[in-house]
Structure 1
Amino acid sequence: MRNFIKVLTIGVSAAAMMAFTPPGGKKPKYIDKANMDAAVKPGENFYLFANGGWLKNNPVPSSKTRWGSFDMLREESSKRMQTLLQEASKKAATNSRMQKIGDFYLSGMDTVAIDQLGYEPIKIDLQRIDAIRNLDDLLQEIAYEKISGTGSPLFGFFLAQDRKNVTQYIPQLTQGGTSLPDRDYYLKNDARSTAIRKAFVDHLEKMFRLIGESEADAIAHAAVVMRIETALAKAQMSRVEMRDPYKTYNKFSVKDFSATTASIDWSKMLQQLKLNGADSLVVTNPSFFKSVDVLLSAVSLQDWKTYLKWGVLDDAAAYLSMPFVKQNFAMTQVLTGQKEITPRWQFVSGIIDGQLGDLLGQLYVDKYFKPEAKTRMMDLVNNLQQTFSDRIRQLDWMSDETKSKALEKLFAFTKKIGYPDKWKDYNSISIDKNDFMGNIHRTSQWAYDDMIARFGKPVDKTRWGMTPPTINAYYNSVNNEIAFPAGILQFPFFDFGADDAVNYGGIGAAIGHEMTHGFDDNGSQYAADGNLKNWWTNDDETKFKAKANLVVEQYNAFTVLDTLHVNGKLTLGENIADLGGLNIAYEAFTKTKQFKEGKSIDGFTPAQRFFLSWAQVWRSNTLPEAQAQLILTDSHSPGMHRANGPIVNMEAWYQAFNIQPGDKMYKAPEQRIRIW
């Protein structure tokens, strides 16, 4: 589902489907004045007004790159997963459901055995690469690494729904082959990018030395990898370009696409990738593959072997002995500023959530799921859906013809809450408590085979794009669905004990956010049936794009770090979703008894509590290095701008906090942006 899914924030596995109770069992203070900064006027910087006290008292822990509401929930949830995994490891011998995750956990936690192995687990891969004799062998190795879970060299390959015929799966090819988080790290010459490239070359050299290479060979091989990856980066499209669903939809017959790459017969390659019977494929960036074709001839076979060895080493480093783990982390430090390695138990728990997520998720739901939360969530979703429909009907810039199509799409949403209706069956996977790397590879192979097995079969819309213990939510455009995994339903998003203002400012805005993704600059190009096709009149589409461009300009103006600004085009979809989601949630909140009665709680009116609840969701301290990376790679704006960006366009916020001309955040009524 790759580029089809739009999420609330960066997805990291964790969480629990229950009202969050901090250590000590105390009920949370939903709007805590101690977390605020009364010295800051709401109209000067609302984010700091709402969160200044918390930000001062909650620095980023040494093993993290940022620390905020999401991270606190993930930390708490990681501990719950750790408990489940430790329990499973004790029952592994007698309980088949526990065996796989329990033994997987034991294998990852046995660092003594892992350290004794050194890089033994990947020697067979390195030897196989050494045996490559020609281009055919090289291409066979590239395919093998993808199907075996040992690497993902040169390009990306996956099977997913055809965006223009969503009832069918189709093989898809995308740009790839680089190690650094974004192509700009290879191409830009600013001081930050130059320093990262220098550190990356040093990292390459040290990693090659760890597999026994001489200093001279390691230096030479590092230069080879850097040269090849830079060439691949030059051929890649930018992240902004990759957001265009039409630009990245290039459908070819397998025969015709093979004619564009003399070095690669894609019919043969697809067979090597275990996909048989495909007559067509979708390519996100055809020119990238033309460049790959040129490189396959221009680069020596020996250099390609060096590149492939690096890919295997890079993929495996975090799972090998401590020297590899430490060197891998040293590069992470350069990129993110993280001071200490993530605790081992947390690292292993995250792997298992990713590899056997439905199995761990079942145990999670059994222990932490509250059925009444699912019922309450469905009520909220339906409430916001109806409110959104009312707002669409009242739009003054959209014609009745387009409104009709928009409403059709809105009411066609599939709603997924909590966990899947049917769980994945991992029975065929062999998990060995003495083989951590083998477990990684076998679960990866299973996932690959599970993906390939979908080809030629009806699309299974019951599948989820996230595991149940994930603190996140998403919209999937090709299925026109919104999904809220179990983990999102806890404070500060949701709590049964909280007043409506808090819940609507938290989970209500999250629901509205995911709904609005169906109508952001990207999602709005997909119709009610999930297909990529235009349902707008020309005039309405022009008006929408003009409004969207105002959002781009607003966020482009936000400074994040020294000379770095928010990338308004990269973050446009998320910013539109925040703006729409908060407006929808607020209007839905105005229908509640609490809003109508207007009684203050702890000195704050219902409207004030709504906006304070919204702002506290986004509080976060982030390391400068991590923030610089996120500006390049993340489609979400930083927390401060997610909190402040939408509200300046909402009259209700101005009224709630008496924001006046002269206040720093004040925007004149005619400057305020309203889309949905």
Structure 2
Amino acid sequence: MKTLWFGAAAAAALLTAAAPASARDWRPLHILSAAPEATGGGGAQAQRMGEWGFDASGMNPSIRPGADFFLHANGAYVDALEIPADRSRFGTFDALNELSVERMRVVLDRSAADRAATGDEALIGAFYRSFMDETAVNALGARPLAADLARVRQASSDEALARLMGETMKGFGGSIFSAYVYDDAKDPKRYTVYLGQAGIGMPDRDYYLDERFAEQKAKYQAYVAQLLTLAGWPNPEANAQAIVAMETKIAEVSWTRTDRRDDDKTYNPYTLEELSAFAPAFPWTAFLAGADLQGATKLVAAENTAFPKIAEIFAGTPVAVRQAWAAYTLSDQAAPYLSQAFVQAHHEFREKTLSGQPEQRPRWKRGVALVDSRAGEALGRLYVADYFPPESKAKMEALVGDIKSAMEIRLQGLTWMGDETKAKALEKLSKFTVKIGYPEEWRDYSGLEVRPDDLYGNVQRAAAFDWAFRVGRLNEPVDDKEWGMTPPTVNAYYSPTKNQIVFPAAILQPPFFDPDADPAINYGGIGGVIGHEITHGFDDQGRKSDGDGRLTDWWTAEDAAKFQAEAKKLGAQYSAIEPLEGHPIQGELTMGENIADLGGLLLALDAYRISLDGQPAPVLDGFTGEQRVFLGWAQVWRGKYREDALRRQLVAGPHSPPHYRVNVPITNMDAWYDAFGVTPEDPMYVAPDARVRIW
């Protein structure tokens, strides 16, 4: 089952979810942060942090601001924090996400109990009931897989296997290439088909090729054998060994994540005839027919130089191994919706081994996450009616205006950028659009069949319904009103092709946004988030798209070189940090998010200063206004990871760990040194000429 970015949180965003390794984890949006795991347990209302928006009890004043600002602001909280057993990490995002999921549970419990419900309420209620009927699901065992496994057994030729892989775009199962329909980066008012490398079942190619992950690789092979056994597939041990060997070959020829985030490198258009000649060992016609994409006239191959090599691995692998791989990927993706034996096996490897999460989440939490991911706007419409006050939207619109104004002033004042590039940058900023809270037009789910007694079928039909919706738009104009996140999502994103920033309802709560809190805290919290998303339009990849969302080079060569020099300095600052021994931050992989964090906080501080209108900022509990902006930013990122989850983030995540999303940007801001009296004697001190000056 392909977890695609729409409805599952993915573009340039604040937090990004780890995509299943069997599909290319598309990142057409820039996301604020790694998506909080779906869980629950919060109360009905988001609580204000402290008396005026900041939880001073979470500070550790014994640590000087210039020694470790993250721990100065959050040390007591972090020391006392115990990560819940059903989590691989916990912090501000996760705590607020608990509240969101608790609220969704209220909506779903009400909908499921109302047997007379109609429309969206009936749909989400039936979907939730189908997941929560654990007794019925357990009684079925592996039987829901039977028909799909039979189709795998019948696929005994290259063409049949390629067609089957195409069909998995609209249901359970794996493919060595992924497909998706999205805005054309060079013609953003039209949709096109994107193809990407896929075919590996662990989080990243490094898990196959790096000896540091030998233990995880061995456990992965055991997991493959376990699922094949549960599915009743023959010779599970031998097949598991052959499957991991095949995936290792794919990993060896796959692009790195750093290369995959380059918007120029990954835009490679082909016709079907050209692609078939470029990677002839794979039956592209059969694959596209299986995916209902046979009418596509343009195919954008992302990691194009890997395609011929992966195609040759496909052709050179015995049919029986490819069939066993298809049976395994089918079972792996379906496991959360099958009997307890499958569910437990999936948890032991996917959550415990890879992320260190000791316990499975309670079933109701997983049920909420499922409905949000498969019918998120149906659930979100009811969620918003109950939990999103209209005044929050109005106040957010004013804040966004403040931050955009700050960016305009900052662009106009840049000394390193020439007038030609500057004019185009200002034009792009003027064309930014914003979405707050929830969609203007809600998704119509009336064509989706959901049965309260058919969990496996419901998930399959929801995937097919969504795929048909996207494929059906290939010859239609792009819908600029569409959302890439559901309203209950605690996150935010920037879309390069739409030149648009989006803030779902659930993030507009403390500690990010509290209408009654100290303004400086709001500027440091949600203001920093708004600035982060705006800056994504001008980060090392976002800067490649113009004001109309078109991927094009609008920079002079001289200005581009200056930008790249500063970005390289920032990357080096992060790459010098090793949060776990042998696992440094990858400065190139995290570049876009790091630039956005620095720009976001700069804009938040600028906007706060503008808001004072020349008046002195009040001092609250001994903290100046500018100090409170920095503390508001630090508070947003407080939390901690389990070691395995942190290791996974460092290898495969586009975001730096939260500790350094606080500590590194501020060392490049002169105002932070002034606000907290940081001197060359402090460990975090960076000399003025070594500070990064981008936006």
> Which whole-Å CA distance do the structure 2 matches of 1:298 and 1:247 have between them?
27
Report matched runs for 1:47-62 at 5 Å. Answer: 47-62=70-85
Indicate the residue corresponding to 1:226 in structure 2: 244
Say if 2:651 is the partner of 1:632. yes
Indicate the residue corresponding to 1:259 in structure 2: 277
User: Which residue, out of 355, 360, 368, partners 2:379?
Assistant: 360
Indicate the residue corresponding to 1:642 in structure 2: 661
> Which whole-Å CA distance do the structure 2 matches of 1:57 and 1:526 have between them?
44
Compute the displacement of 1:4 (Å): 2.1
Indicate the residue corresponding to 1:133 in structure 2: 156
User: Which residue, out of 244, 248, 255, partners 2:266?
Assistant: 248
Q: Deviations over 1:481-525 (max 9, x none)?
A: 111111110011000110111100000010000000000000001
> Which whole-Å CA distance do the structure 2 matches of 1:292 and 1:403 have between them?
43
Instruction: Give the partner amino acid of 1:9.
Output: S
Compute the displacement of 1:268 (Å): 4.4
Q: Is the 8 A contact 1:13 1:469 kept in 2?
A: no
> Which whole-Å CA distance do the structure 1 matches of 2:668 and 2:481 have between them?
37
Q: Is the 8 A contact 1:595 1:606 kept in 2?
A: no
Q: For residue 64 of structure 2, give the secondary structure of its aligned residue in structure 1.
A: coil
> Which whole-Å CA distance do the structure 1 matches of 2:61 and 2:364 have between them?
39
Indicate the residue corresponding to 2:55 in structure 1: 32
Q: Label 1:475 to 1:94 Cα distance change in 2 as closer, same or farther (>3 A).
A: closer
Indicate the residue corresponding to 2:34 in structure 1: 10
> Which whole-Å CA distance do the structure 2 matches of 1:401 and 1:29 have between them?
44
Compute the displacement of 1:414 (Å): 1.3
- Count of aligned pairs: 669
Q: For residue 599 of structure 1, give the secondary structure of its aligned residue in structure 2.
A: coil
Say if 2:352 is the partner of 1:329. no
Indicate the residue corresponding to 1:210 in structure 2: 230
Compute the displacement of 1:12 (Å): 4.2
Indicate the residue corresponding to 1:582 in structure 2: 601
Indicate the residue corresponding to 2:693 in structure 1: 674
Indicate the residue corresponding to 1:289 in structure 2: 307
Please tell me the root mean square deviation across aligned C-alpha atoms, in Å. 1.9
Compute the displacement of 1:29 (Å): 5.5
> Which whole-Å CA distance do the structure 2 matches of 1:553 and 1:595 have between them?
37
> Which whole-Å CA distance do the structure 2 matches of 1:32 and 1:111 have between them?
41
Compute the displacement of 1:622 (Å): 0.5
Compute the displacement of 1:278 (Å): 2.0
Indicate the residue corresponding to 1:659 in structure 2: 678
> Which whole-Å CA distance do the structure 2 matches of 1:145 and 1:63 have between them?
30
Indicate the residue corresponding to 2:418 in structure 1: 399
> Which whole-Å CA distance do the structure 2 matches of 1:452 and 1:315 have between them?
22
Indicate the residue corresponding to 2:5 in structure 1: none
> Which whole-Å CA distance do the structure 2 matches of 1:672 and 1:293 have between them?
46
Instruction: Give the partner amino acid of 2:160.
Output: D
> Which whole-Å CA distance do the structure 1 matches of 2:620 and 2:38 have between them?
32
Q: Mark the runs of 5 or more structure 2 residues left unpaired by the alignment.
A: 1-10, 12-25
Indicate the residue corresponding to 2:186 in structure 1: 164
> Which whole-Å CA distance do the structure 2 matches of 1:429 and 1:28 have between them?
47
Q: For residue 422 of structure 1, give the secondary structure of its aligned residue in structure 2.
A: coil
Compute the displacement of 1:610 (Å): 1.1
Q: For residue 427 of structure 1, give the secondary structure of its aligned residue in structure 2.
A: coil
Say if 2:118 is the partner of 1:95. yes
Q: Mark the runs of 5 or more structure 1 residues left unpaired by the alignment.
A: none
TM-score, normalised relative to structure 1: 0.96
Q: Is the 8 A contact 1:15 1:487 kept in 2?
A: no
Q: For residue 610 of structure 2, give the secondary structure of its aligned residue in structure 1.
A: coil
Indicate the residue corresponding to 2:570 in structure 1: 551
Instruction: Give the partner amino acid of 2:267.
Output: Y
> Which whole-Å CA distance do the structure 1 matches of 2:49 and 2:693 have between them?
40
Compute the displacement of 1:14 (Å): 6.8
Q: Is the 8 A contact 1:318 1:325 kept in 2?
A: yes
Q: Deviations over 1:249-290 (max 9, x none)?
A: 111121111112334343443233212432221101223221
Q: For residue 596 of structure 1, give the secondary structure of its aligned residue in structure 2.
A: coil
User: Which residue, out of 635, 641, 649, partners 1:622?
Assistant: 641
User: Which residue, out of 159, 165, 174, partners 1:142?
Assistant: 165
Compute the displacement of 1:9 (Å): 0.4
Moved more, 504-513 or 326-335: 326-335
Q: Is the 8 A contact 2:200 2:247 kept in 1?
A: yes
Q: For residue 424 of structure 2, give the secondary structure of its aligned residue in structure 1.
A: helix
Instruction: Give the partner amino acid of 1:287.
Output: T
Compute the displacement of 1:45 (Å): 0.2
Q: Is the 8 A contact 1:51 1:619 kept in 2?
A: yes
Q: Label 1:10 to 1:247 Cα distance change in 2 as closer, same or farther (>3 A).
A: same
Compute the displacement of 1:672 (Å): 1.3
Q: Is the 8 A contact 1:422 1:462 kept in 2?
A: yes
Indicate the residue corresponding to 2:628 in structure 1: 609
Compute the displacement of 1:121 (Å): 0.8
Indicate the residue corresponding to 1:181 in structure 2: 203
> Which whole-Å CA distance do the structure 2 matches of 1:387 and 1:89 have between them?
47
Compute the displacement of 1:15 (Å): 11
Compute the displacement of 1:303 (Å): 1.0
**Percent identity over paired residues:** 38
> Which whole-Å CA distance do the structure 1 matches of 2:120 and 2:277 have between them?
49
Q: For residue 259 of structure 1, give the secondary structure of its aligned residue in structure 2.
A: helix
Q: For residue 415 of structure 1, give the secondary structure of its aligned residue in structure 2.
A: strand
> Which whole-Å CA distance do the structure 1 matches of 2:49 and 2:269 have between them?
56
Moved more, 161-170 or 509-518: 161-170
Moved more, 666-675 or 536-545: 666-675
TM-score, normalised relative to structure 2: 0.94
> Which whole-Å CA distance do the structure 2 matches of 1:370 and 1:525 have between them?
37
> Which whole-Å CA distance do the structure 2 matches of 1:136 and 1:392 have between them?
54
Instruction: Give the partner amino acid of 1:156.
Output: S
> Which whole-Å CA distance do the structure 2 matches of 1:12 and 1:626 have between them?
12
Instruction: Give the partner amino acid of 1:209.
Output: T
Moved more, 442-451 or 271-280: 271-280
Q: Is the 8 A contact 1:13 1:471 kept in 2?
A: no
Indicate the residue corresponding to 1:502 in structure 2: 521
> Which whole-Å CA distance do the structure 2 matches of 1:628 and 1:599 have between them?
42
Q: Label 1:175 to 1:325 Cα distance change in 2 as closer, same or farther (>3 A).
A: same
Q: For residue 192 of structure 2, give the secondary structure of its aligned residue in structure 1.
A: strand
Q: Label 1:94 to 1:599 Cα distance change in 2 as closer, same or farther (>3 A).
A: closer
Q: Label 1:558 to 1:76 Cα distance change in 2 as closer, same or farther (>3 A).
A: same
Compute the displacement of 1:133 (Å): 2.8
Indicate the residue corresponding to 2:19 in structure 1: none
Q: Is the 8 A contact 1:92 1:99 kept in 2?
A: yes
Compute the displacement of 1:117 (Å): 0.6
Q: Deviations over 1:171-216 (max 9, x none)?
A: 11100011101111011122xx1111011111112222222356xx
Q: Label 1:454 to 1:550 Cα distance change in 2 as closer, same or farther (>3 A).
A: same
Indicate the residue corresponding to 2:220 in structure 1: 200
Q: Is the 8 A contact 1:548 1:572 kept in 2?
A: yes
> Which whole-Å CA distance do the structure 2 matches of 1:13 and 1:371 have between them?
27
Report matched runs for 1:253-652 at 5 Å. Answer: 253-331=271-349, 332-593=351-612, 596-652=615-671
Q: Deviations over 1:322-368 (max 9, x none)?
A: 11111111112111110110111111101110100110000011001
Instruction: Give the partner amino acid of 1:104.
Output: F
Indicate the residue corresponding to 2:177 in structure 1: 155
Instruction: Give the partner amino acid of 2:380.
Output: G
> Which whole-Å CA distance do the structure 2 matches of 1:582 and 1:595 have between them?
20
